[in-house]
Amino acid sequence: MNVENNVTIFEPHGFVRLVKWMGDELDIVNAARVSFANESFEFGDDDAGLIRYLLKNKHGSPFEQGFEAHWHVRMPIFVMREWVRHRIGHSVNEESGRYSVMRGDFFEPDHLRVQHGKPGAYTFEAIDDPDMYATFLDDLAEVNQGAWNFYQKWLDKGLAKEQARIALPLNLYTEVRWTSNARSLMNFLALRNNNHAMYEIRSYAEAMEGIFAKYMPTVHSAFVDNERVAP
């Protein structure tokens, strides 16, 4: 993972980037204070206390008016399957395999893991077996190349892109533009930067949380102090 200027790179093909944002912690405060026909013009200790009160007591709507963030993310399709489950307070548009030729970039895991337990209560442990890992990567590369050869073959035969793509695997990368506000982002982080989340999506969520903490330090601190429960 390489982090620089609101961009986190997941070698060799993935990234999460904060494209632009609007709003700050004062906007959240004033969204709450308007209930009493009041307003703050400079963020101070009383405002920080109000943010902590709002979050602790689950007064969530003011947090929808701070940190309106636009993200640009490149991730494997199987990660996107988890990501797109978050719908409230988010908007998403994805790279289309109907309109453009997919790029032959495939995700390779940095470790293998074994799954224990029952649905809803799984635990995962890393498999420390270099030979098994090397064999897995060789097999994965063979499958990836076969799927890519199929895709290219049928594109060359003139088949529509939307049909030629159907054999491409879940570890192909896709790209999205995704928006969130402070409230919806905290909900995403609570679930995805979490020990129970899938490792790969957690890596992205962890990077996004670092950016969120940079721009919304009081809100983020209150979020953590509140046991990472979103308002």
Within 8 A by CB and 6+ apart from 146, the residues are none
Assigned CATH topology for domain 2-98+174-225: Gyrase A; domain 2 (3.30.1360)
pLDDT of residue 128: 96
Pairing status of strand 68-76 against strand 91-94: unpaired
Buried-exposed string 114-140: b where 16+ CB fall within 10 A, e elsewhere: eeeeeeeeeeeeeeeeeeeeeeeeeeb
pTM of the model: 0.93
Q: CA 82, CA 64: separation in Å to the nearest integer?
A: 23
Under a CB-based contact definition with an 8 Å cutoff, are residues 72 and 79 in contact?
no
Within 8 A by CB and 6+ apart from 49, the residues are none
pLDDT of residue 3: 52
pLDDT of residue 119: 82
Q: How far is CA 154 from CA 39, 148, 149, 160, in A?
A: 62, 10, 9, 8
The string of pLDDT tens digits covering residues 34-49 is 999 999 999 999 999 9
What is the arithmetic mean of pLDDT over 63-75? Answer: 96
Q: How many helices (H) and strands (E) does the chain have?
A: 8, 8
What tokens appear for 230 in the block?
């979103």
pLDDT of residue 203: 97
Q: How far is CA 18 from CA 4, 7, 15, 94, 143, in A?
A: 11, 7, 10, 16, 33
One-letter identity of residue 2: N
What is the arithmetic mean of pLDDT over 7-11? Answer: 93
* Bridge partners (DSSP) listed for residue 21: 69
Report whether pLDDT(2) > 80: no
pLDDT band at 127 (very low <50, low <70, confident <90, very high): very high
What tokens appear for 12 in the block?
């060799």
DSSP, residue by residue, 71-88: EEEEEEHHHHHHHTT--T
DSSP, residue by residue, 27-92: HHHHHHHGGGT---SS--HHHHHHHHHHHHTT--GGGGGS-EEEEEEEEEHHHHHHHTT--TT-EE
Active site residues: 192
The string of pLDDT tens digits covering residues 134-182 is 999 999 999 999 999 999 999 999 999 999 999 999 999 999 999 999 9
